[in-house]
Structure 1
Amino acid sequence: MHTWHWHNWEGLPYLTCNLLKPWTHGFFTQWFWPRSPHELTQALQPGALAYRLKQVHGNTVLTPQEIHHYVNTSDDDLALADGLITQQPLQAVWVASADCTPVLIGDVKTGQVAALHAGWRGTAAKIVPKAVKRMQAHGSSLADLRVAMGPAIAGEVYQVAVEVAAEIGSTIVPHNNPEKIIAALHDLPNSPLLGDIEPGKVRLDVRQVNTLQLERLGISLEQIAIAPYCTFQTPEHFFSYRREKQKKVQWSGIISISK
């Protein structure tokens, strides 16, 4: 069982995961709002360079060197993407979330890291497998990757339309028929679906879908950690868009190391 630890910076709480111990990293709480990733990087490792994105619920994964090609000049000169990956040492990559899953990945051999924003749309577009494949293209072996999924909305409280669940489920169950996809998902030993009393709805565990996607790539469960916190059900620590309908976020980041 992977362990998660609470830390404090200036009296404010943030989380780390033992699976990512080689890297300075943090899954920050709402109490750091509205501090920027630049400030949070100074909390973790002064001197590291911070990179962030204008997230758009897609599956584009960029390196810091590629950011300027995707910049949206009308919005703070931020690149439109949902994942960052870097091999250069002392680069901090950040993602924001408020129910979606923040995913931090590190490679124990190369030191390279990734930070990904995996909501249901990004998960349906397989952002996490896409990032893993980019890391492989940069020299990573699957066995060397460590994946931590931070606080996000839990399946038991995340109601979605059956059509949404089928769209996401098609990344695991290669069917075109939504009913067959849903039935096959329910039959899985670690099903990401729970029933719902409302017709046409189910409860969906997005982090479990990402886990299943990673397993299908060949990554073992020992290489994956899921934070035991639900943003919706932990108002004392985390913003939840479903709960508050406010565009406030918590940041998650990891800093690359040289190997």
Structure 2
Amino acid sequence: MNDSSWKWQEWQGLPYLTCELLSSWRHGFFTQQCYPHPPEKLVTALEPKADVYRVKQVHGNRVLTPQEISSKTSQENLEQQFPNADGIMSDYETQALWVASADCNPVLIGDVETRKVAAIHAGWRGTSQKIVPEAIALLQAEGSSLENLRIAMGAAIAGEVYQVTETVAAEVGKSITEHEEKEKVLNALFDIEDSPLLEDSQAGRVKLDVRRVNAIQLEQLGIGKEQIAIAPYCTYQQPEYWFSFRRTKEKKVQWSGIVA
């Protein structure tokens, strides 16, 4: 697993992160210092001529293309600016795809052969519904091979501080185990090497590493650990860089984007 391939960059004196695995694409995991600039402004740090695409994130597993976003915005969602989804996959060049996060896992994906990219918002609900494998299935349908994918997960709440109910942990855990019953799922998760679960002192609670679950989903697809990078940053524990809804209860976000 690549977690040492991250570098700080600056845009107008404001810090953002890039990942060596995605060095073939203009991309960035932007910090809270870049708030409240929207993607339409942040894109100038990556590719000023790129067309910007984003969605109304609803904690599901729906992944759209820019063409579908344009179509659904005009047809299905007349009362809102962006269609409901939590992932975007490019269908042409010079498209900038963006997702917002506060504690959830922002995932950027690139294919070194087809040059297609995807941006995913993977909180615990989306992770339980396998949104990242869903995006990868769509990439495969467009000609991607698993060995050509490069996947970077940005700053998110770390497992050691993300307390959830055992019910939530089991719901997420079903995505990487063969069990359905809560106790069996939890036991199976604890048995995994580098387990995504930690014990918690409060009864009925555990600590959950959502990014680790996403990584296991990828490994179960056959994607090599060397193709995956996880940023060594926690939104909850590092307020100097990141917003955290769990920490402040404020509805502020940081944006992550990648240009096809």
Which bracket does the TM-score occupy, shorter chain normalised? over 0.9
Cα deviation, 1:206-248, whole Å, max 9, x if unaligned, reads 0000000001111010000000000000100000000010110
Cα deviation, 1:122-176, whole Å, max 9, x if unaligned, reads 0001000000000000000000000000000000000000000001000111211
SS in 2 for 1:79: coil
2:41 to 39, 42, 45: 39
Quote the Cα distance in structure 2 between the aligned partners of 1:74 and 1:34. 23
2:170 to 133, 146, 166: 166
SS in 2 for 1:179: helix
Residue 144 (1) aligns with residue 144 (2): no
User: TM-score if structure 2 supplies the norm length?
Assistant: 0.96
> What are the ranges of 5 or more consecutive residues in structure 2 without an aligned counterpart?
none
Cα deviation, 1:190-217, whole Å, max 9, x if unaligned, reads 2100000000000000000000000111
The size of the alignment, in residue pairs, is 255
Q: Is the 8 A contact 2:105 2:155 kept in 1?
A: yes
Quote the Cα distance in structure 1 between the aligned partners of 2:72 and 2:175. 26
Instruction: Give the match for residue 240 of structure 1.
Output: 244
Q: Is the 8 A contact 1:87 1:111 kept in 2?
A: no
1:30 to 29, 32, 39: 32
Residue 119 (1) aligns with residue 140 (2): no
Root-mean-square deviation (CA, aligned residues, Å) is 0.8
Task: Name the aligned partner's letter for residue 250 of structure 1.
Answer: Q
Residue 74 (1) aligns with residue 79 (2): yes
Instruction: Give the match for residue 219 of structure 1.
Output: 223
> What are the ranges of 5 or more consecutive residues in structure 1 without an aligned counterpart?
none
1:177 is displaced (CA, Å) by 0.8
1:34 is displaced (CA, Å) by 1.0
Quote the Cα distance in structure 1 between the aligned partners of 2:142 and 2:6. 29
Quote the Cα distance in structure 2 between the aligned partners of 1:129 and 1:105. 11
Instruction: Give the match for residue 233 of structure 2.
Output: 229
Quote the Cα distance in structure 1 between the aligned partners of 2:209 and 2:234. 11
Moved more, 204-213 or 1-10: 1-10
Quote the Cα distance in structure 1 between the aligned partners of 2:78 and 2:182. 39
Task: Name the aligned partner's letter for residue 119 of structure 2.
Answer: A
Quote the Cα distance in structure 1 between the aligned partners of 2:36 and 2:62. 25
SS in 1 for 2:45: helix
Instruction: Give the match for residue 255 of structure 1.
Output: 259
Q: Is the 8 A contact 1:70 1:80 kept in 2?
A: no
Runs of 4 or more above 6 Å deviation: none
Quote the Cα distance in structure 2 between the aligned partners of 1:68 and 1:167. 33
1:183 to 176, 181, 187: 187
1:69 is displaced (CA, Å) by 4.3
